[in-house]
């Protein structure tokens, strides 16, 4: 399937058919999340994959519309960091040094400039910045799923406090930003037959 066909076929599924995604396909989709670009490469998020029926059942009350979560194969939960601590930056540079076999001293100027950049931001700015990075992951996961012929529904319609309690999130340092249900569309989901509603090109694009 070419990418425009995949993106046209994709829609936000309201009801899945309970079929499970093969592990290898799921791994490929997750790899696209891992390969996402992030500002400064800091990946200020983590990705929780809910596959167990027990956990999905527990999470149903957290969603305003339970039909996706009760019928999907997997629910992906993207959690943003609210703070970027000095030790997190240190860990990032140790990792670069290890993966690229580069002495830490060589990376020091880059590390200093990142630390400086981060410490200049207010906590609110850090969180807004971190949250934006999560949406790049979301878009890549949705795109990869579409190419793999897997259906999805991005969802922000959940109760923050409930989902965070169930997933044992420390709300001082982390926040559930957005979720993505993955699976296969149900034949009963009428939304699959509806035309896409998008702004006309002249309202969306401006060529200068
Ligand atoms: C960040 C984000 C959050 C969304 N949250 C929900 C949601 O909570 N529930 C839902 O049914 N759809 C949700 N949607 C789906 C949108 O309503 C949908 O993408 C939009 O209407 C366009 O339709 P389409 O995705 O079917 O092409 C969300 C989409 C995005 C990108």
The full 3-state SS of the chain, as one line of letters, equals CCHHHHHHHCCECCCECCCCCCHHHHHHHHHHHHCCCCHHHCCCEEEEEECCHHHHHHHHHHECCCHHHHHCCEEEEEEEECCCCHHHHHHHHHHHHHHHCCCHHHHHHHHHHHHHHHHCCCHHHHHHHHHHHHHHHHHHHHHHHHHCCCEEEEECCECHHHHHHHCCCCCCCEEEEEEEEEECECCCCHHHHCCCCCCCHHHHCCCC
From atom 4 of ligand 1, which residue's Cα is the shortest distance away?
155
pLDDT, average across residues 26-35: 98
Residue nearest to atom 7 of ligand 1 (CA): 155
Q: Cβ(126)–Cβ(159) under 8 Å?
A: no
Question: How many whole angstroms from 137 Cα to the centroid of ligand 1?
Answer: 15
pLDDT at residue 193 greater than cutoff 80: yes
Torsion region of 168: left, alpha or beta (phi above 0 gives left; psi -120 to 50 gives alpha): left
User: Per-residue confidence at 113, pLDDT binned at 50, 70, 90?
Assistant: very high
Which mutation among 8, 78, 155 tests ligand 1's pocket best, with the greatest number of atoms within 8 A of CB? 155
Percent of the chain with pLDDT over 70: 100
Ligand 1 site-directed mutation target among 65, 135, 154, most atoms within 8 Å of CB? 154
154 near 77, Cβ under 8 Å?
no
Q: Which atom of ligand 1 is nearest to the CA of 135?
A: 1
Vertex 146 angle, CA 152 and 143, to 5°: 90
* b/e burial code for range 104-116 (CB count within 10 A of at least 16 → b): eeebeeebeebee
Beta bridge partners of 81: 174
- pLDDT tens readout for residues 8-25: 999 999 999 999 999 999
Does residue 69 line the site of ligand 1, with CB under 6 A?
no
Ligand 1 geometric centre to CA of 62 (Å): 17
Ligand 1 closest atom vs CA 14 = 11
Residue 1 pLDDT grade (very low, low, confident, very high; cuts 50, 70, 90): confident
The per-residue pLDDT for 139 is 98
> How many residues does the structure list for the chain?
208
Query: Do the beta carbons of residue 189 and residue 88 sit within 8 Å?
Result: no
pLDDT per residue as tens digits for the range 149-183: 999 999 999 999 999 999 999 999 999 999 999 99
Q: Is the CB of 33 under 6 A from ligand 1?
A: no
Say yes or no: domain 3-82+122-186 is CATH 3.30.70.100. Answer: no
The protein residue with its alpha carbon nearest to ligand 1, atom 9, reads: 155
Provide mean pLDDT across the span 100-113. 96
Q: Are 80 and 70 in contact (CB under 8 A)?
A: no
Would you say the CB of residue 178 lies under 6 angstroms from ligand 1? yes
Is residue 208 predicted with pLDDT exceeding 80?
Answer: yes
Span 62-87, pLDDT tens digits = 999 999 999 999 999 999 999 999 99
**Mean pLDDT over each residue of the chain, to the nearest integer:** 97
């Amino acid at each position: 399937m070419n990418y425009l066909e995949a993106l046209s076929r994709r829609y936000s599924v309201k009801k899945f058919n309970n079929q499970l995604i093969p592990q290898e396909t799921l791994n490929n989709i997750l790899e696209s999340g891992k390969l996402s670009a992030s500002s400064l490469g800091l990946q200020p998020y983590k990705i929780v994959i809910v596959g167990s029926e027990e956990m999905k059942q527990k999470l149903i009350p957290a969603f305003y519309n339970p039909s996706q979560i009760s019928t999907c194969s997997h629910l992906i939960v993207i959690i943003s960091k609210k703070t970027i601590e000095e030790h997190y930056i240190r860990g990032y540079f140790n990792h670069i040094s290890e993966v690229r076999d580069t002495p830490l001293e060589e990376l020091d100027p880059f590390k200093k400039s990142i630390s400086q950049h981060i410490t200049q931001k207010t906590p609110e700015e850090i969180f807004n910045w971190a949250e934006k990075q999560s949406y790049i992951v979301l878009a890549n996961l949705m795109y990869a799923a579409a190419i793999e012929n897997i259906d999805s529904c991005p969802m922000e319609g959940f109760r923050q406090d409930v989902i965070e309690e169930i997933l044992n999130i420390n709300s001082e340092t982390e926040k559930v930003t957005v979720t993505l249900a993955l699976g296969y569309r149900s034949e009963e989901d009428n939304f699959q037959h509806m035309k896409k509603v998008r702004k006309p090109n002249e309202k969306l694009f401006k060529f200068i």
